Structure 1
Amino acid sequence: MKAKQVCAVLILLIGVAVAGRAQELTGRVVDEANRPMEYVNVVAYALPDSAFVAGAITDASGAFSLPTNGTATKRVLKVSFVGYETQVVEAQPGIVITLRPEAAALGEVTVTADRIRRSAGGYTANLLGSTVTQGRQTDEILAMLPGVTRREGVLQVLGQAVGTIYVDGIRLTDTKELAALPADRIRRVQVDYTPGSSEFASTRGAVIRITLRKELDGGYYGYAMAGADVMPKYGFSRDFAYAVYNGRFNRLSLYNVFSYTNHNLISDDENTYSFLRTGSEIRTEGQYRGWTHGLYDRLSLTYDLTPRNTLGTSLYFSTDHATPRNDVATLKPRIHSGWSDTALYRTLTETPYTYRTYQATLRFDRELDDQGSTFNIGADYLRQFTRNRMQTVRTLPALAPDTLSNRSEETTNMLEARTSLNKNFASGLAIHGGLAYRRITVDYDLTNERHLRTLPYAEGQMPAAYVEVQGLIGKRLQYGVGLRVQENRIAYRPDAAANLTVHDDWDAYSSFNLLWMINEARKISATLNYTEAVDDIPYSALTTYREYGDEHSYTTGNPDLVSPKSHTLTAALDLFDHLAFNAIYIYNERPIYYATRVDPALPSVTYTKPMNAKYERLFGLNAEARFDPLPWWKLRGMVMYTLFGSKSEDFDVHGQQKYYFSLSNTFRFTPHMGASLEGYYEPTYHFTDRIYRTVYEMSGSVYHTFLRDRLALRLNFKLFRHGRVIDTETPDLRFVEANRTRDQYFGLSLSYSFSGGRSVNVKQTEEIQSYEKIRDKR
């Protein structure tokens, strides 16, 4: 019944969309390789008096649409884009216009395209030539986009963690790749508030798609950056180096990014355990230190087999190795109040680890027609290896040495294949469909604190099929509806000799989005999005292996977990490109939470275990304002409010509230010097059975460029941060975790960029391009 209802809605919307587009002139703009060109100016003039009729800017598929007003007057189209020869052609329905690069390398030019283009699923930000990209990396610029924040290195959209990030169609395995990519290489960023039916149903949160600038044939670009950070309390804390190269040689395009980091892991923690049934208390004070060394490299190659056929591949490797140590002192309470100055005993925990990741992707793209229809087929192989070892030695009292040790190895292999067909029609209708398959296997090799070895194994497979329909209803409504049918199969065995336990589930997941362009001239629009999803269970959460953080606490898994399902509804209202109001509602069935309890066999030891709750509900409101108080000063403020409720065997909570405030300032004092200053404040709030105490932070940067902006010197800093305190209370235990780290830092970096061959030197500007400006230049 559900599928029939969705199909009926699709058929109705298709008919309305086709009728609504009958009075419009549509066409498409491509380059010499027949690739679609976005943000191209298309202006229609009436003959013989050359009177202005209408104007438009092409979308990501190179398509444009101009109203005809039902008249039969002959018209011409003027098509222009920076770095390409301007074309003037006779207007014809379904016309395809090819732009050719200017014969010589261009000097400094100005890009004046609209920065934000709203769509039914979210928006696309054009960053080509934007001043805010100067002197910044990609992870920083993303946090400046509407609705996007970055907290403790994690990107969020509308207060929820980002689900997936793509760069030129390649799904990133780790967001640290964004730190190495200079923001001025970004052409556009597409932000979808919900994943849509084309993503696997386990994708939660927004999807961000980054498209990089392309070099002209024979052009190349390079970038190198190195720097170091110092923390006033702890000293030298990090050094790093990045290198990026991008070039095009005839039919071959090459992109490579390399990163090396050397980072000191620093954390000062204070944990208090109050065992309510026995009345005893202890406090631990830990100092976590250790250097981690990491590097990665990604090489991407794209070859144009023919003007309509492209073959691409990407190879990725990363490795991280660290040898951290945690020095923990256990204190006992004084008779009257406070805590003893002398440690009851002291332990030293060493936790060396090694992470390695390998990824290889292969993709074939074929353009089917002049409307931008495509056929795609691709494969993605991912292998991750993790080795952890933990050894705890009690160093005080010296006469009673005690050693606790364990180790683990985890090898994950994932193979994914997908094919899709995307059909675009001249009426503006688009139908996307595809098949996908993902298989994951995880092999464990575990040795616990009693030197017992186990070999757990887990596997999952997800075959799926999906269809999406997108189009227009009249001139102001854009819609998208989709349906995904997917199997979610998880199998697990606790040891090599045990039988597999299988959880298998077939289900259909729908999605819907709608954009109402209330007033395009004044940039007033509203969007509505809905999606269904199923969560992946972390396979490590299934094993009953105990991983000790210290001798008083450990984490373990739960083989009885089942996959949670979620329903997400978002709504947004954007006003005048300066104000945005967003709402989000999430209902989760059987969500996973982590329960902290006392080990019955060890009354002085606590453990944390994943459990399925019955449900949880979340309602959030977000208001964002963007203004330019002065020509050189951009200001963005954000307020978020969240209302939460959940029920499980450990708690039944309703009406838990959370507030979040952030302020971001971007300054451009001269064409070569700028700065930023950001801060956030999050007051105390309750979440399930935990109390999260107030946390706040202020950080920023200053940069200056030299040698015609090729050389850049930058200072990063974190002025202050109040660390998190988490208070957990159960019938058996009250547990207070306090982060006492003083993580203020100052960092200095130097970068240099170079380019050659045929290229476009883009002058950075904040002007807004529109077809009216072209009309004024007639």
Structure 2
Amino acid sequence: MKTLTKCFLLLIVLLCSEQILLAQAIKGTVVDAEGNPIELAHVIARKRADSTFVAGCLTDAQGRFAFDALSAPEHILTAKCIGYKARTIAAQPVCNIILEGDATELSEVVVLSSYVKRSPSGDLSVRIQGNPIAKGKSLMETLRYIQGVEVISGNILVNGKDHTIIYLGDRKITAEQLRSIPTNMVKHIEVIPNAGASFGQEAQGGIVRVTLRQKEGLIGAIGLTAQADGEGFVDAILTPTLQYQFGKLSVYNSLKLGAGNYRTRYKRQDDYGSHRVDRTFRSDKESLALLENLGLQYQLTPTQSLQVYGGLYLIKDRINQTNHNGQLLSLRQKTQSSFVEGNAGLLYRANLNVGKNSSFSTKVEYLNQSNSDHIDYELNTHD
């Protein structure tokens, strides 16, 4: 009986030890080639299996970082910092990541610093107009050069945190809409790591606010991209973004129109000894997408403005899929889907002569979404 009790206690100890091991934190430091700590380096944890983003953080003044309750064997770490080459390692309970300097990028960082203003609260204001770093780069690429900002697969992290909210002036926009704005139309970008209550509870990762240039007349850009492969046309995307200003009135319009044919082919051969079966899968997808973003602003007085804006997001897909087992058509699937989103809003803002950047605003918004899917299945027939 005593032996059984000892075995039971030993089992409990082993299980508790395993749980503690699985829940242990991943921590470490990021240093340069001379061993000096690197402050404000981005450290990003991803799943080892598929490299999906898990969490991010910034190093402190001693170059230290930590991820609580992450299992080291299941993750990889990537350390990045402006002026250094990024490095990825397998996660360990304790990591020491050494970054090699990048002379070319470091020289650009030195230039960029003269265009950056940092407030005591940690907010950044980066002048884009006339900034040589932004020349020839997209807005997303330019954001990568701002300290504390990281762009991962179109997702913007501020101080290692996601759920960043993006504003174009006083209007909330998506990362897709931000990507369509030409850099030469932007006056400056504000990065607010710790958003106040005025931005709402959803601003967990900070705020990125884009302010466009104010110039009489018409400014903007028109982009056209196209792709093709061995089977022909793949897709084409037209992106005109324009702003017109006349006196107190300014009009902004961003349009993204795309059409594409996307093909997937898969072949497999199964050997059953006495016979073989060739299995094939074929998918042909025809897509049409429209993203429209229109805004109109009127300056009522030097301290008061009125904005009217609206947008339309439309996606239509038609997909034909076929499966063959040998010469037999075993399954045919036809899908027609659509997604439509419309929004409109009215915003009034008045700047107040109380404190710094104080203002009063009121906003009314309307949003409507609808989506539909129609799928037909045909089995073992050509009809």
TM-score > 0.5, shorter chain as reference: yes
1: CA distance between counterparts of 2:125 and 2:183?
Answer: 16
Which of 253, 257, 262 does residue 256 from structure 1 map onto?
253
2: CA distance between counterparts of 1:164 and 1:263?
Answer: 30
Shift in alpha-carbon separation, 1:138–1:353, aligned structure 2, 3 A: farther
Aligned to 1:449: none
Identical amino acids, percent of aligned pairs:
21
Per-residue Cα deviation, 1:82-131 (whole angstroms, up to 9, x for no partner): xxxxxxxxxxxxxxxxxxxxxxxxxxxxx998333345355333222123
Q: Match for 2:378: what amino acid?
A: V
Q: Does the CA-based 8 Å contact 1:137-1:178 persist in structure 2? A: no
Q: Does the CA-based 8 Å contact 2:163-2:203 persist in structure 1? A: no
Shift in alpha-carbon separation, 1:112–1:200, aligned structure 2, 3 A: closer
Q: Does the CA-based 8 Å contact 1:154-1:161 persist in structure 2? A: yes
Shift in alpha-carbon separation, 1:207–1:344, aligned structure 2, 3 A: farther
Aligned to 2:351: 367
Q: Match for 1:352: what amino acid?
A: Q
Equivalences for 1:367-406 in 2 at 5 Å?
A: 367-369=351-353, 371=355, 372-394=357-379, 397-398=380-381
Aligned to 1:229: 227
Task: Tell me, yes or no, if structure 1 residue 178 matches structure 2 residue 173.
Answer: no
Equivalences for 1:285-304 in 2 at 5 Å?
A: 286-304=281-299
2: CA distance between counterparts of 1:285 and 1:191?
Answer: 50
Shift in alpha-carbon separation, 1:209–1:222, aligned structure 2, 3 A: closer
Q: Does the CA-based 8 Å contact 2:244-2:250 persist in structure 1? A: yes
Task: Tell me, yes or no, if structure 1 residue 308 matches structure 2 residue 303.
Answer: yes
Query: CA RMSD, aligned part only?
Result: 3.4
Q: Match for 2:207: what amino acid?
A: V
TM-score when normalising by structure 1: 0.30
Shift in alpha-carbon separation, 1:315–1:114, aligned structure 2, 3 A: same
Shift in alpha-carbon separation, 1:398–1:292, aligned structure 2, 3 A: closer
SS of match in other structure, 1:198? helix
Aligned to 1:84: none
1: CA distance between counterparts of 2:196 and 2:159?
Answer: 16
SS of match in other structure, 1:323? strand
Shift of 1:269: 7.4
Aligned to 1:131: 132
Shift in alpha-carbon separation, 1:118–1:325, aligned structure 2, 3 A: farther
Q: Does the CA-based 8 Å contact 2:320-2:335 persist in structure 1? A: yes
Count of residues paired in the alignment: 262
Aligned to 1:324: 319
Equivalences for 1:3-18 in 2 at 5 Å?
A: none
Which of 244, 263, 270 does residue 241 from structure 2 map onto?
244
Shift of 1:291: 1.9
Q: Does the CA-based 8 Å contact 1:351-1:390 persist in structure 2? A: yes
Q: Match for 1:226: what amino acid?
A: L
Aligned to 1:522: none
2: CA distance between counterparts of 1:288 and 1:145?
Answer: 42
1: CA distance between counterparts of 2:195 and 2:265?
Answer: 38
Q: Does the CA-based 8 Å contact 1:114-1:126 persist in structure 2? A: no
2: CA distance between counterparts of 1:146 and 1:206?
Answer: 14
TM-score when normalising by structure 2: 0.58
Per-residue Cα deviation, 1:659-711 (whole angstroms, up to 9, x for no partner): xxxxxxxxxxxxxxxxxxxxxxxxxxxxxxxxxxxxxxxxxxxxxxxxxxxxx
Q: Does the CA-based 8 Å contact 2:336-2:373 persist in structure 1? A: yes
2: CA distance between counterparts of 1:157 and 1:285?
Answer: 45
Q: Does the CA-based 8 Å contact 1:148-1:155 persist in structure 2? A: yes
Shift of 1:146: 3.7
Per-residue Cα deviation, 1:179-199 (whole angstroms, up to 9, x for no partner): 332112122222334554333
Task: Tell me, yes or no, if structure 1 residue 212 matches structure 2 residue 207.
Answer: no
2: CA distance between counterparts of 1:158 and 1:270?
Answer: 45
Higher strand share: 1
Shift of 1:244: 2.2
Shift in alpha-carbon separation, 1:112–1:177, aligned structure 2, 3 A: closer
Equivalences for 1:448-459 in 2 at 5 Å?
A: none
Q: Does the CA-based 8 Å contact 2:318-2:337 persist in structure 1? A: yes
Higher helix share: 2
1: CA distance between counterparts of 2:327 and 2:156?
Answer: 40
Task: Tell me, yes or no, if structure 1 residue 168 matches structure 2 residue 165.
Answer: no
Shift in alpha-carbon separation, 1:212–1:329, aligned structure 2, 3 A: farther
Shift in alpha-carbon separation, 1:307–1:122, aligned structure 2, 3 A: closer
2: CA distance between counterparts of 1:190 and 1:377?
Answer: 22
Q: Does the CA-based 8 Å contact 1:265-1:324 persist in structure 2? A: no
Shift in alpha-carbon separation, 1:141–1:286, aligned structure 2, 3 A: farther
Q: Match for 1:254: what amino acid?
A: V
SS of match in other structure, 1:351? strand
Q: Does the CA-based 8 Å contact 1:113-1:126 persist in structure 2? A: no
In structure 2, list runs of 5 or more residues that go unmatched. Answer: 1-110, 269-278
Shift in alpha-carbon separation, 1:147–1:306, aligned structure 2, 3 A: closer
2: CA distance between counterparts of 1:122 and 1:270?
Answer: 54
Q: Does the CA-based 8 Å contact 1:162-1:207 persist in structure 2? A: no
Aligned to 1:189: 189
Per-residue Cα deviation, 1:548-580 (whole angstroms, up to 9, x for no partner): xxxxxxxxxxxxxxxxxxxxxxxxxxxxxxxxx
In structure 1, list runs of 5 or more residues that go unmatched. Answer: 1-110, 272-283, 331-341, 402-778
Shift in alpha-carbon separation, 1:116–1:263, aligned structure 2, 3 A: farther
1: CA distance between counterparts of 2:317 and 2:250?
Answer: 36
Per-residue Cα deviation, 1:140-178 (whole angstroms, up to 9, x for no partner): 433454454444444445665443221112111x43223
SS of match in other structure, 1:245? strand
Q: Does the CA-based 8 Å contact 2:158-2:164 persist in structure 1? A: no
Q: Does the CA-based 8 Å contact 2:126-2:188 persist in structure 1? A: yes
Shift of 1:290: 1.0
Which of 330, 336, 341 does residue 357 from structure 1 map onto?
341
Q: Does the CA-based 8 Å contact 1:319-1:356 persist in structure 2? A: yes
Q: Does the CA-based 8 Å contact 2:329-2:381 persist in structure 1? A: no
Q: Which has the larger radius of gyration?
A: 1
2: CA distance between counterparts of 1:266 and 1:136?
Answer: 31
Task: Tell me, yes or no, if structure 1 residue 142 matches structure 2 residue 143.
Answer: yes
Equivalences for 1:680-699 in 2 at 5 Å?
A: none
2: CA distance between counterparts of 1:222 and 1:137?
Answer: 13
Per-residue Cα deviation, 1:352-388 (whole angstroms, up to 9, x for no partner): 2111121111111112227543111112211111112
Shift in alpha-carbon separation, 1:357–1:326, aligned structure 2, 3 A: same
1: CA distance between counterparts of 2:145 and 2:322?
Answer: 39
Equivalences for 1:377-776 in 2 at 5 Å?
A: 377-394=362-379, 397-398=380-381
Q: Which has the higher contact order (CA 8 A, sep 6+)?
A: 1
Q: Does the CA-based 8 Å contact 1:327-1:347 persist in structure 2? A: yes
Q: Match for 2:114: what amino acid?
A: D
2: CA distance between counterparts of 1:136 and 1:207?
Answer: 21
